[in-house]
Amino acid sequence: MNFYRVKQFYWAINSRINKKDLHFLHAHLDENELGLFNRLSIQEQKHCINVAYDVEKVCKMKNADKKLLIKAALLHDIGKTYKKLNVIDKSILVMVDSITKGSIKKFSNVDKVNVYYNHGKIGKDILKSYNYEEKLLYLIENHHNDKITGNVELDILRICDEKN
């Protein structure tokens, strides 16, 4: 787990959006969605793009709604636009969460802690005002909810998110 976190940190500080990524984004998001997506930090954008690439690969093997899942992957962290977490903020929160075994969650009245733990719900609330279908909102809200099992689309999104 610790090596994985080091690798995530490295990916974050070296994140770049390339032409292939831009083409992929324009193929799957409309102008309003691109506007929302571009409010994410470059690191979060690249993470979401990588999750979407993996979702696309997995959907070829599974019976899942590929179009819905790619859009969910690209927008799943949109709640992080509420209060941006830079790489250092996120690293500190990850370490403190690990050390306290999650008890830092009780400090969700602090904006950065709230976004770290509740960005799925915040993202759902942001996207709800754009009249997205309930299935997409459900995926975004619950992409970190391990208590929900047996939902193929949610399982794919969750696995691809954790991998990236």
The domain locations on the chain are 2-163
Model pLDDT, residue 63: 76
Distance CA 142, CA 76 (A): 9
Model pLDDT, residue 8: 59
Give the global pTM.
0.88
Q: Estimate the crossing angle of helix 66-75 against helix 152-163, to 10 degrees.
A: 40
Model pLDDT, residue 92: 84
Distance CA 71, CA 52 (A): 8
Model pLDDT, residue 11: 62
Model pLDDT, residue 91: 79
Distance CA 67, CA 70 (A): 5
Model pLDDT, residue 59: 87
User: Mind listing the pLDDT tens digit of every residue in the chain (164 residues)?
Assistant: 565 556 656 566 667 899 999 999 999 999 999 999 999 999 999 999 999 999 999 987 777 899 999 999 999 999 999 988 887 888 788 888 888 988 888 888 889 999 999 999 999 999 999 989 999 999 999 999 999 999 999 999 999 999 98
The CB density around residue 19, as the number of other CB atoms within 10 Å, is: 7
- Which CATH topology does 2-163 take? Hypothetical protein af1432 (1.10.3210)
Cβ pair 73, 138 in contact under 8 A: no
